[in-house]
Structure formats: C-alpha cells, structure tokens
Amino acid sequence: MSTQKIFLFDFDGVIVDGMYEYWHSSLLACEKYLNSPYISVDQKLYKRVPNTFKEIRPWVKYGWEMILIVHELIKTENPIINKDDFINNYHQNCQKILKDNSWISEDLQKILDKSRKYQIEKDFETWVNLHNPFFEVINCIEELKKREVKAGIITTKGKIFAEKILKQFNIYPEFIFGYESGTKIKIAEKLTQNYEILGFIEDRKKTLIDIKENAETSHIPCYLADWGYLKESDRYNLNEIKLLKLKNLENLVAI
C-alpha cells in the first residue's frame, strides 16, 4: 500500500476567480457558435459581467449551463429579469431551456470549449489574464510541495484549460482531472486506493456532501472554500464539512 500524500483542489472558485472569463467565453460562444435567432450580441456586452450572471453562478455545476444562462440574459424577448425565479428551480429551468431550444448539453459544452480554444489560439495572454488567481492557494500548493505532499486538481472544466492556466502560475500538479474523467466522487474513490488524501477544498457544497456520504470517501477531510462561488445558505449546517477561509490556509498546510 502506498502512503503517498496528496491534497485535492477544485479549480474554479478555489484556485482562480474566473468570473470575467466565464462571461466572456460564454458570450463569445453564443455570438459565434450558438446560431440562436433570439439573440444579437452587442459588443458592449463584453465589457461588464452583469450582476445577475454573478448571482446565478453559484448554482452552476457544468460549463454548458453558463452558455444557457448567458443566452437567457441577453435574449431580446423575455430575458431573465428575476433571478430568484430562475434559481429557485435551477435544474428544471436548465432542462426546460434545453428542451425548448432543442439543444443538448454536450453540444453546448463543445461550443464553450471551442470558444476557449479560439481565444487561446488568437491571443493566449489576453485569455489567461481574464482569470484572477487566489495567490494564497497558489502559495499553499507550493508549500505542500515542499512538504512532499502532492496536489491534485479535480475540475468540471476541460482539463487542457485548467492545465494552461496553472502553467501560467508555475503550478504543475500531480494530476488534473477535467469533466472528461467522470464525476468527482468516482475520481476521489479511485484515488483513495493509491493515495492518502489529506483534504479536499471545493466551493460546491453538494460535491462535498456526496464525498462525505460515500463509504469509500467519507474519511477525506472536506473543506468548503469560503472565497468561492457560494450560495448564502451553503455556509450553514455544514456538519462534518469545514468552512475554510483564505487566511486559514496556512494552518491547514502545517499538518
């Protein structure tokens, strides 16, 4: 049995704040690849991320949902005005919009990836600069490395995009699993066979609850990133999950 130690990190909302990039790439995907008759993209829209988009972001699990949200926000007729109605039935609303437009989620994910690839080829620097790293987390990964603890990234983003951004910060984790690798819980389950997992930092509470409720992974210490894209209600009733603040990352590394 291996005793290789590893610490797991989610990517979006934990290592980087990519809010501007999510908006930018999703809007570009809508403009270039979606072919929707209900929108016309004004270039001014790229300048500022609407608050409604920021407010809905904590409900997003997969990238394709962002394309759908941007589309609903910029539609010429009946755009989302009341975000509460939308998020109160978030999952059902997403499914309904897919159906009404005859979209399939995989295709939306493909055009989001395509939009990112397009920007990377055109001007990598500009694209990468749309992300703001949380330097405390970058330092934490470096500190762990000094202590011979490896870092693993589990994200619902495409692997190549997370990889390119991390490289920019000089971070080369032991592995990066993207959405292509399946659910986070399955990935964590597999990893427990070969690693001693010292912790998992994630900003999606439901993912951490699933980890805690699964017999194979329930021993993993789970931390909810206070600095990530949280819903207000996420901060309460955490049970075995710890709410972690950026300033307390240092103590965590000192294990």
Q: What is the DSSP code string of 148-205?
A: T-EEEEE-SS-HHHHHHHHHHTT---SEEE-GGG--HHHHHHHHTTT-EEEEEEES-H
d(CA 142, CA 139): 5
What's 10's DSSP letter? -
The CB-of-227 to Mg ion minimum distance in angstroms stands at: 11
**Alpha-carbon separation of residue 136 from 6, 63, 93, 143, 253 (angstroms):** 18, 25, 36, 10, 11
Pick from 166, 60, 75: which is nearest to 112 by CA?
Answer: 60
Task: Give the DSSP per-residue string, 73-129.
Answer: HH-SSS----HHHHHHTHHHHHHHHHHHTT--HHHHHHHHHHHHHHHHHHHHHHHHT
Q: Which is nearer to Mg ion, 13 or 199 (CB)?
A: 13
CB of 55 vs Mg ion, minimal distance in Å: 16
User: Which is nearer to Mg ion, 6 or 162 (by Cβ)?
Assistant: 162
What token pair was written down for 190? 């597999």
Complex with Mg ion: residue 59 or 127, whichever CB lies closer? 59
- Cβ of residue 71: shortest distance to Mg ion, in angstroms? 22
Binding site residues, Mg ion, CB under 5 A: 10, 12-13, 203
Write down the least CB distance from residue 22 to Mg ion, Å.
Answer: 11
The CA distance from 169 to 22, in Å, is 19
Q: Which is nearer to Mg ion, 22 or 127 (CB)?
A: 22
In the complex, least distance from residue 204 CB atom to Mg ion, rounded to whole angstroms: 5
Nearer to Mg ion, 13 or 178 (CB): 13
Task: Round to whole Å and give the CA distance between 231 and 87.
Answer: 11
**Number of Cβ within a 10 Å radius of residue 98:** 17
In whole angstroms, what is the distance from residue 167 CA to residue 153 CA?
Answer: 13
CB of 7 to Mg ion, least distance (A): 16
Question: For residues 123 and 139, what is the distance between their CA atoms, to the nearest angstrom?
Answer: 27
**In the complex, residue closest to Mg ion by CB:** 13
> Nearer to Mg ion by C-beta: 13 or 152?
13
- Smallest separation, CB 210 to Mg ion (Å): 14
